């Protein structure tokens, strides 16, 4: 009887911690009662008209919430105090032993990738290993803040997010732990993972040039840097510099050219703007298609998704910097949390996500490229052609991010 009551108390505490903080910043509170269904999710809004934005697939304004109870976790400090005060040491040991025996059954994920992009892989992993995967999704900022605030009491074993800049930040904050795995070293090229093995790329996103096929010839284009030349005056549309994708692009340019040369390039871009920076790169591509400007820079999956919806738009991809350092690539990726409860199972999941079996699922679902060199991209993505990637380690995107932000500010890129 006491045993049952204690279990209920422990579960309630864990659930409160998992469900309790998603308020305010996402404009909606999701809080489940103990008896509520274990899955809460809503469908991503789909664009219906040209004026409606295609939502960014990396983020969500909805909290997805699965199976709040985590029988395999460590006992939080509050519960430890409870045990110390009200139960005998022998009884505590029995409960903790019971919890520890279920550690191998479950991995808890905090994910900045939305449910549609991650659930198919988790289902495949569970099917293969029997290990259950629970996940919570939110924007990366709240997830990082939450990991920090929870400290060693976090229920999360793994963080999945996009952009090396974000993963670098999580590692810098001490939220991730190094993972030694020959499988990950083999499956993930060195330039797409943390040199200290605290995070690993799982899909590659290429940030490339998109142009209006009625106004621009491919031979007019060459590099990101050349978009600063006077021939592009009044012809360039870009997404805001506040987006981490542009911060990472500029950080990688600093890594290659140094600060002074990069600042000249960014000033050149600003001088060539047709309109003020836009909040969204799908919108920027639509402006290019509508003739408001001739060229933009976007992640190729946005192009793929827009063209699936509106195949008649006069847009095409150009792969820049092929004579030089290659196309700027970034990643979506993951790391195991510093205070993970179930490191072996989380490592197994990370290895699975990098495997040939899971890589297509992980990349194709968002029209990205696999990180695993043995895996080919989806045919629809492969149709855009092959290209040389910039192989400077993506960790530079994090290391030089604040310098990039300051540089863009000085250059007047808002």
Residues in contact with Fe ion by the rule CB under 5 A: 56, 58
* Closest distance to Fe ion from the beta carbon of 238 (Å): 15
* Closest distance to Fe ion from the beta carbon of 392 (Å): 21
Say if CB 400 and CB 255 are below 8 A apart. Answer: yes
Say if CB 184 and CB 172 are below 8 A apart. Answer: no
* Closest distance to Fe ion from the beta carbon of 366 (Å): 8
Residue 59's nearest CA partner among 121, 116, 112 is: 112
Q: Determine phi and psi for 133, rounding to 5 degrees.
A: -120, 120
* Closest distance to Fe ion from the beta carbon of 205 (Å): 7
By beta-carbon proximity to Fe ion, the closer residue of 56 and 115 is: 56
By beta-carbon proximity to Fe ion, the closer residue of 29 and 52 is: 52
In the structure encoding, which two tokens stand for residue 105, read together?
């059954």
Burial class from Cβ neighbours inside 10 Å (0-12, 13-18, 19+) for residue 280 reads middle
By beta-carbon proximity to Fe ion, the closer residue of 58 and 150 is: 58
Distance of CA 22 to the CA centre of its chain: 19
By beta-carbon proximity to Fe ion, the closer residue of 58 and 115 is: 58
By beta-carbon proximity to Fe ion, the closer residue of 75 and 300 is: 300
* Closest distance to Fe ion from the beta carbon of 58 (Å): 4
CB atoms within 10 A of CB 228: 18
* Closest distance to Fe ion from the beta carbon of 226 (Å): 25
In the structure encoding, which two tokens stand for residue 6, read together?
């204690």
Q: Which helix (H) or strand (E) holds 107?
A: strand 106-111
Burial class from Cβ neighbours inside 10 Å (0-12, 13-18, 19+) for residue 43 reads exposed
* Closest distance to Fe ion from the beta carbon of 56 (Å): 5
* Closest distance to Fe ion from the beta carbon of 57 (Å): 6
By beta-carbon proximity to Fe ion, the closer residue of 56 and 286 is: 56
In the structure encoding, which two tokens stand for residue 45, read together?
């809004």
Give the residue nearest to Fe ion (CB): 58
By beta-carbon proximity to Fe ion, the closer residue of 56 and 140 is: 56
In the structure encoding, which two tokens stand for residue 285, read together?
């591509």
By beta-carbon proximity to Fe ion, the closer residue of 99 and 112 is: 112
- Scan for tokens 């864990």, then name that residue: 14
Say if CB 201 and CB 185 are below 8 A apart. Answer: no
User: What are 169's strand-pairing partners?
Assistant: none
By beta-carbon proximity to Fe ion, the closer residue of 56 and 225 is: 56
DSSP three-state, residue 9: helix
* Closest distance to Fe ion from the beta carbon of 53 (Å): 12
Phi-psi region of 330 (alpha: psi -120 to 50; beta: other; left: phi over 0): beta
- How many whole angstroms separate alpha carbon 279 and alpha carbon 282? 9
């Amino acid at each position: 009887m006491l045993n049952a009551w204690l279990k209920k108390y422990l579960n309630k505490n864990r659930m409160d911690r998992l469900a309790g903080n998603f308020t305010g910043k996402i404009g909606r509170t999701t809080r489940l009662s103990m008896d509520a269904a274990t899955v809460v999710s809503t469908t991503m809004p789909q664009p219906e008209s040209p004026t409606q934005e295609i939502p960014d697939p990396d983020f969500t304004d909805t909290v997805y919430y699965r199976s709040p109870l985590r029988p395999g976790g460590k006992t939080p400090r509050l519960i430890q105090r409870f045990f110390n005060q009200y139960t005998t040491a022998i009884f505590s040991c029995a409960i903790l032993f019971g919890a520890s025996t279920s550690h191998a059954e479950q991995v808890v994920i905090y994910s900045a990738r939305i449910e549609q992009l991650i659930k198919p892989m988790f289902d495949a992993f569970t099917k293969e290993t029997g290990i259950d995967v629970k996940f919570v999704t939110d924007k990366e900022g709240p997830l990082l803040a939450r990991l920090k605030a929870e400290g060693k009491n976090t229920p999360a074993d793994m963080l999945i997010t996009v952009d090396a800049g974000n993963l670098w930040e999580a590692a810098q904050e001490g939220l991730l732990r190094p993972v030694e795995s020959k499988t990950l070293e083999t499956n993930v090229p060195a330039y797409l993972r943390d040199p200290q093995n605290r995070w690993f790329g799982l899909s590659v996103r290429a940030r490339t040039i998109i142009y209006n096929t009625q106004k621009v010839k491919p031979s007019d284009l060459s590099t990101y840097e050349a978009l600063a030349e006077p021939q592009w005056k009044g012809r360039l549309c870009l997404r805001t510099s506040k987006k981490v994708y542009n911060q990472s692009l500029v950080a990688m340019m600093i890594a290659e050219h140094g600060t002074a040369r990069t600042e000249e390039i960014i000033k050149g871009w600003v001088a060539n703007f047709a309109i003020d920076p836009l909040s969204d790169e799908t919108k920027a591509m639509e402006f290019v298609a509508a003739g408001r400007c001739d060229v933009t820079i976007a992640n190729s999956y946005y192009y793929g998704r827009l063209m699936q919806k509106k195949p008649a738009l006069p847009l095409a991809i150009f792969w820049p910097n092929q004579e030089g350092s290659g196309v700027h690539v970034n990643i979506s990726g993951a790391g195991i949390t510093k205070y993970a409860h179930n490191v072996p199972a989380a490592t197994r999941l990370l290895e699975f996500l990098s495997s040939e079996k899971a890589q297509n699922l992980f990349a194709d679902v968002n029209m990205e490229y696999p990180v695993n060199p043995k895996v080919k991209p989806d045919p629809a993505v492969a149709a855009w052609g092959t290209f040389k990637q910039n192989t400077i380690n993506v960790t530079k995107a994090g290391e030089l991010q604040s310098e990039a932000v300051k540089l863009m500010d000085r250059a007047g890129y808002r």
